[in-house]
Amino acid sequence: MEVGLRGESREEGVESMASQGPRPQTLDPRPETLAIGVMGGTFDPIHIGHLIIAEEARYRFQLDRVIFVPAGIPPHKPDEPITDREHRYQMTVLATQDNPAFETSRIEVERPGPSYTVDTLMEFKRIYGEETRLFFITGADAILEILTWHQPERLRFMCKFIAATRPGYNLGEVKRKLPKAYLEHIFFLEVPGVHISSTELRSRAAAGMPIKYLVPAAVEDYIIQNHLYRAEK
């Protein structure tokens, strides 16, 4: 699920839904229980906005690790051209390799068929144990569409959701659109406003414009060496 951030004015009376503030969140009294953040996305390409969100979520929710999961076949982008999954996986590995708390999983890259979040979380529960606490990290715009995800009723009992917002994001739309039963499983995380999208980066690369500092240096080198996104020019 691609992380999408949009800046809007915050509506009063909604902050009670948000997990915000300078201190880490203590969400479970069992310190021995493994807490894993799962950050799914197309990552076409992965950029510093993804990394900022993941690191902020790791710190604020005291996660033991954050696992990045590049989608094999994103079900929400059936008609869009997508870079080969191996390229997207390799870029994600390069982007996360210098953070010991970050990992990259091939679980969706190797799974045939559409990459459904519910299947991925079920597999992580099998690997790490049913008692493991899973936190699915995405953007607030994406969480608005959770009712259209595959088997959303199962999802809300398998994990908590960390929905990243930019400063000033209006949470009122989320409160109006989603049932209370889902809001109880969502924590909102305000992160520094880095307005970057993978779509914009692909366009810049296709036009020969610089993407330096918008993606990690290793990802920039990989894109140049493999001539990615040039076909869109």
Which pLDDT value is given to residue 82? 92
Helices (H), the chain: 48-60, 85-96, 107-110, 117-128, 140-143, 152-158, 172-177, 180-183, 198-206, 217-225
Domain 33-195: CATH superfamily, name plus number: HUPs (3.40.50.620)
Annotated domain spans of the chain: 33-195
| Percent of the chain scoring above 90 in pLDDT | 74
Tell me the average pLDDT across 12-25.
40
| Residue range 71-111, pLDDT digits in tens | 999 987 767 889 999 999 999 999 999 999 999 999 999 99
Which pLDDT value is given to residue 232? 46
Q: Is the pLDDT of residue 64 over 70?
A: yes
Predicted TM-score (pTM) of this structure: 0.85
Strand partners, 19: none
> Measuring CA to CA, which residue among 64, 36, 66 is closest to residue 130?
36
| Residue range 108-137, pLDDT digits in tens | 999 999 999 999 999 999 999 999 999 999
The packing angle between helices 85-96 and 48-60, to 10°, is 50
Q: Is the pLDDT of residue 9 over 70?
A: no
Which pLDDT value is given to residue 31? 54
Q: Is the pLDDT of residue 18 over 90?
A: no
| Residue range 141-200, pLDDT digits in tens | 999 999 999 999 999 999 999 999 988 888 888 989 999 999 999 999 999 867 889 999
Q: Is the pLDDT of residue 26 over 90?
A: no
More confident of the two residues 17 and 148: 148
Which pLDDT value is given to residue 1? 41
Which pLDDT value is given to residue 206? 94
> Measuring CA to CA, which residue among 154, 86, 162, 82 is closest to residue 120?
154
φ/ψ of 44, rounded to 5, equals: -125, 65
Which pLDDT value is given to residue 202? 96
Which pLDDT value is given to residue 231? 57
What's the one-letter identity of residue 156? R
Which pLDDT value is given to residue 25? 52
Which pLDDT value is given to residue 8? 29
> Measuring CA to CA, which residue among 182, 145, 173, 188 is closest to residue 11?
173
Distance CA 203, CA 211 (A): 10
